[in-house]
Chain A
Amino acid sequence: MQRLDRTELIFKIIAYSFVTLFAIAALYPFIYTISAAVSGKLAFETGKVIFWPVDFQMDALIGVISDKGFWIAYTNTLFYTFFGTAFSMILSVMAAYALSKQRLVFRSKINFFIVFTMWFSAGMIPVFLNYRMFGVEFRWGIIYGFGIQAFNLILLRNYFSGVSKEIEEAAIVDGANEFQILTKVYLPMSKSAVATVTLFYALSRWNGYFWNLILVNWTVEHPLQVFLRKYLSEYLLDENASITNTPYSPYSYMYAMIVMSIIPIIVIYPYLQKYFARGVNVGGVKE
């Protein structure tokens, strides 16, 4: 018995240490980013910032907040996230509802039509040329051109398929039409699935970079991610970037920009992470 307890105890110690280290490692770069953003020029440039801020200053953050280009990009990201998610959700919820109905004519063929797009893509060049052809090079174009993700649609459809049929039938007896059944029966009964899919759509809009960069022609319509990246590459190219008169290092300015861009995410994360985690488990989809 003694020996058994010992292996279990050793394993427990290893488990606690590993898990703790991993959690710290996951958080550390973000803490460092914040510290680097608010540390003084000399402290940062001599490598004194390791975990906590040294020689606290707010000027870098204030500098970012008063940067007009940054706010234009921020507003664009809010635009893409808000309207993009709304558009995606309205269309996906309606389609998933229709697809969850057994009586749908050609149901399996339509399902295949959707699922096939997850298997085969024409490739980046034809997709790019096609987007150009359909005018996806301005704000609203991005909204409709990246509206639906097959995976999210199937996730919703599977959830809707599990909604109790008795309540639906009762609603039909009461004279509810298709739209009322969806909004009064299905949506209230699948709150967590709807939240999960909304979160997936919103995150992919907020984090979107590549397609927006190559499709959107006007810099004033670029989202935050594109703006951040452009700023970073310009800074790193500039060997003399450090020689400035500001009370903060130019790199702190870059870190401050990152801080400003992830604040909303970090703030909502504790509230939304459970939906985020749930997405994986409902992800084991069947046709």
Chain B
Amino acid sequence: MGSKFNRDIDTMTIEELKDEQQSELIEKNKWHHYWHLIKKDWPLYAMLFPVLLFFFIFRYMPIYGILTAFKNQADLTLGVGESPYVGFYAFRSLIGGDYSREFWQAFRNTFAISMYGLIFGFPVPIILALFFSEIKSDVYRSITQILSYLPKFISTVVITSIITLMLFEGHEPHQAPGILTSVLTNIGLISAGTRMLGEPQYFRSIYIISGIWEGAGYGSIVYFAAIMAISPTNYEAARIDGANKLAQIRYVTLPGMAPTLTIMLILRIGEILSVGYEKIILLYNVQTYATADVISTFVTRIGGLLGGQSVSLNTAAAAGLFNSIIAMFLVIGANFISRRVSDTSLF
């Protein structure tokens, strides 16, 4: 093989050599040409530069820190660069070692919270949009719509503080329970004095119901726009054909909003691993880890980001990387399918 290669160079014709030189020249000219274009247009590139620098420093530089996951955590004080490699030690301790019980629990919880959120949370904005479209008084509809987006405007800390205070169990005799606890006790759903945020069986319901309360109004906007885009003549035609309201929804409204529905569903599935960790951190506690701990909250805890003793930076980084990689494939896959289905994608 080697000799053949040598012969090829030896027997290259003059013309071939010329071609080679020419393409090199073109290559050189190309860069020269780009440089010329950039120089001529420099204000445009100067405007873009700070943002590119931002993305490089704060979004690409951290990729180097992924090495943390393959390092010996005891030596991380040396900095990511100098501490010795230990290979896949951290990954092994996640999958089958010291941290495996907690890790798989967090993994299962991530999927469970996302799936329940999808099953119960996905239809509500659609139903809400359907009902909004039924309100013929513009003033009344606007007022109810604006009120329904309001919680989305408010910070997670305020929302979770209100939830915590309303679910307060009360201190006998000098403090009555929170308003929600009283209501739930009175209708017999919980027994008096139950500390709901301390019981694993209630956590997911609290998280998902408050999530619907917070986000369904805002989520309905996109479906409402889709319903409004359906031509009224379609309803007229359906009515003449003898369709009742349910039939109209079934045969006119739903097909009309099908593209929007499909995209939103696909994109939502792509985000299955990105559970709102901030809200979980603000609502969960040691008693509810069994149902509440998700991968990102596990990472903050094991990584010691919120203080506390059990710090294992490399295990935390490994769990984070695991999460990031699966999340990336889910998001790219969802966008790819969404683009195929409808020519629309988030990116």
Contact = CB atoms under 8 A, between A and B. Distances in A.
Interface of A: 3-4, 7-8, 10-12, 14-16, 18-20, 22-23, 25-27, 29-30, 32-33, 36, 44-47, 49-50, 91-92, 94-95, 97-99, 101, 103-106, 110, 113-115, 117-131, 133-134, 144-145, 147-148, 150, 153-154, 177-179, 182, 203, 206-207, 209-210, 213-214, 225-226, 228-229, 232, 236, 239, 242-243, 249, 251, 254-255, 258, 261-262, 265, 269-270, 273, 276-277, 280-281, 283-287
Given A3-B244, A98-B48, A129-B80, A119 B328 contact: yes
B128 interface: yes
Q: Which of A19, A20, A121, A265 has the most CB of B within 10 A?
A: A19
B320 A124 contact: yes
B147 interface: yes
Given A122-B66, A229-B157, A251-B165, A47 B176 contact: yes
Nearest to A148: B54
Interface string B53-92: 0110111111111101000000000001000000000000
Contact of A125 (B64, B134, B243, B317): B317
Interface string B243-276: 1111000000000000000010000000000000
B47 A26 contact: no
A226 B327 CA distance: 29
Nearest to B303: A125
B154 A262 contact: yes
B93 interface: no
User: How would you classify the secondary structure of chain B's contact residues: helix, strand, loop or mixed?
Assistant: helix
A50 B177 CA distance: 12
Contacts of A27: 147, 150
B134 A11 contact: yes
Interface residues of B, number: 102
A228 B300 CA distance: 21
B323 interface: yes
Contacts of B316: 124-125
